[in-house]
């Protein structure tokens, strides 16, 4: 009985040796599923996705890490679709603050903002 | 007891092989290293499979591997919507957008063109196989030159215990955390294919980008 257990422990330890790093650089919860749901209309539940993404942002802040690249912009898109432009604009601005390389695109979207209503 | 020792021995060798990477046929990374792109625009993939949702299933799962490899990935749903509002809905039309235009709007360093060649389940006598295969080209928006290209496959029929499978199992664990609410098998397999295709590290794969602590100097 002890031998199979020992083997299992060995395999587990050895496998962990292969993993370089399990912690991710960014907070991801809900972002990619929300993108999928955005594209596949039958799964469209904007309110629930907003709640998940907001929670993800809180988690990132609590950990001192960052939300995944694009997450704030995606959340902005969801807010714009609900007509909540002010919150949308806020998250677009956060996106470029976190990732300055998105500045030109974000500015372009801020100008175009009306088209998502 | 002898048998047990033998098992441990074989196991140890297998695990070591699993950790080692194949150094043969190394990709020429000169251009990629020279340009060192930070921001990447991923366009909706061309779809050569019969699955209508293949393009967006795959597209929704490209951000994770690229971003965790150290690149900024433009918000893919917002990007797709922007094209749609400008009358471009087909991936083929979007791929035809001139690079100057992409550079003007997104100010991205590079663009990824994807093509899905397989996406779906084939039913065989003894088992079914859900398989996703895709190709990627990373092209500089500064010079228009190709910086890297690769292809990857993922399948539910992969044999347990092979070299690549140790890696696949780990990827599955990672992907599960990301798409844990989705049950669609093709979509899950697409997530693994996307990670194999676009995550940095390993022979001929993409290199780690500027935002990764693992980027080589």
ipTM: 0.80
DSSP string, A16-83: HHH-S--S-SEE-TTHHHHHHHHHSGGG--HHHHHHHHHHHHHHHHHHT-EEPTTHHHHHHHHHHHTT
- Of B49 and A21, the structure prediction assigns the larger pLDDT to B49
Tell whether A34 is covered by a domain. Answer: yes
A39 touching B (Cβ < 8 Å): yes
Chain B residues touching A102 at Cβ < 8 A: 39, 72, 74
Query: Which residues in chain A are contacts of B64 at CB distance < 8 A?
Result: 28, 32, 68
Q: Do A74 and B57 touch (CB under 8 A)?
A: no
Tell me the CATH number at A96. 1.25.40
**A77: closest chain B residue by CA:** B78
Digit-coded pLDDT (tens) for A48-80 = 999 999 999 999 999 999 999 999 999 999 999
Interface of A with B in 67-86 (CB under 8 A): 68-71, 73-74, 76-77
Number of domains in chain A: 1
Query: In whole angstroms, what is the distance from residue A77 CA to residue A91 CA?
Result: 9
Q: In which residue are the tokens 């940095």 written? A: B200
Closest to B195 in 3D by CA, of B216, B217, B164 = B164
| Residue A95 near chain B (CB below 8 Å) | yes
Nearest residue, CB atoms, A32 vs list B82, B107, B178: B178
Question: How many domains does the structure of chain B reveal?
Answer: 1
Residue at B153 is within a domain = yes
- DSSP letter for each residue of B140-181: ETTT--EEEEEEEEEETTPPTTSHHHHHHHHHHHHHHHHSTT
List the single residue in B with minimal CA-CA distance to A80.
B78
Range of the domain at B87: 27-198
Query: Taking residues B150-177, what's their average pLDDT?
Result: 64
A99 falls within a domain = yes
**Structural domain includes residue B11:** no
Has residue B211 got a pLDDT over 70?
A: yes
Residue B5 lies in a domain: no
**In this complex, do A36 and B63 lie within 8 Å of one another by their Cβ atoms?**
no
The alpha carbon of residue B57 is apart from the nearest alpha carbon of chain A, in Å, by: 6
Q: Where does the pLDDT of residue A36 fall: very low under 50, low under 70, confident under 90, or very high at 90 and above?
A: very high
The per-residue pLDDT for B27 is 87
**pLDDT interval class at B161 (50, 70, 90):** very low
In a domain, A16, yes or no: no
Distance between CA atoms of A86 and B47, rounded to whole angstroms? 37
Nearest-Cα distance to chain B for A84, in Å, is 16
pLDDT of B122 reads 78
Q: What is the DSSP letter of B207?
A: P
Query: How many CB atoms are closer than 10 A to CB B75?
Result: 28
Domain limits for position A89: 27-116
Chain B partners of A35 at a C-beta cutoff of 8 Å?
59-60, 63, 76-77
Task: Identify the band that residue B91 occupies on the pLDDT scale cut at 50, 70 and 90.
Answer: very high
Residue B176 belongs to some domain of the structure: yes
Task: Please check whether residue B58 is in contact with residue B45, taking contact to mean a CB–CB distance below 8 angstroms.
Answer: yes
pLDDT digits (tens, 9 = 90+) for B10-50: 555 555 555 454 445 678 999 999 999 999 999 999 999 99
Interface contact flag, A32 B63, Cβ < 8 Å: yes
């Amino acid at each position: 009985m002890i031998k199979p257990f020992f083997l299992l422990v060995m395999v587990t330890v050895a496998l962990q040796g292969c993993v370089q790093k399990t912690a991710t650089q960014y907070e991801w919860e809900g972002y990619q599923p929300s993108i999928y749901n955005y594209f596949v209309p039958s799964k469209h539940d904007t309110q629930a996705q907003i709640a998940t993404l907001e929670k993800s942002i809180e988690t990132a802040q609590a950990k001192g890490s960052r939300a995944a690249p694009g997450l704030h912009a995606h959340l902005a898109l969801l807010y714009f679709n609900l007509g909540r432009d002010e919150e949308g604009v806020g998250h677009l601005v956060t996106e470029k603050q976190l990732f300055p390389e998105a500045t030109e695109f974000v500015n372009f979207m801020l100008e175009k903002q009306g088209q998502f209503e | 007891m002898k048998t047990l020792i033998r098992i441990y021995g074989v196991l140890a060798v297998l695990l070591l092989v699993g950790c080692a990477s194949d150094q043969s046929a190394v990709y020429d990374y000169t251009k990629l290293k020279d340009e060192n792109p930070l921001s990447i625009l991923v366009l909706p993939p061309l779809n050569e499979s019969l699955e209508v949702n293949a393009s967006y299933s795959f597209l929704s799962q490209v951000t994770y591997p690229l971003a965790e490899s150290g690149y900024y990935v433009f918000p893919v749903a917002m990007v797709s919507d922007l094209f749609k509002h400008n009358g471009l809905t087909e991936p083929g039309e979007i791929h035809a957008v001139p690079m100057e235009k992409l550079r003007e709007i997104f100010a991205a360093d590079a663009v990824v063109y994807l093509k899905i060649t397989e996406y779906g389940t084939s039913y065989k006598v003894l088992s079914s196989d859900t398989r996703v295969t895709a190709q990627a080209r990373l092209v500089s928006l500064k010079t228009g030159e190709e910086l890297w290209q690769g292809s990857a496959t993922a399948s539910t029929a992969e044999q347990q215990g092979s070299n690549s499978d140790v890696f696949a199992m780990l990827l599955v664990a990672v992907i599960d955390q990301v798409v844990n609410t989705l049950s669609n098998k093709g979509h899950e397999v697409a997530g693994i294919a996307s990670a194999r295709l676009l995550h940095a590290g390993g022979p001929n794969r993409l290199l780690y980008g500027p935002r990764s602590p693992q980027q080589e100097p």
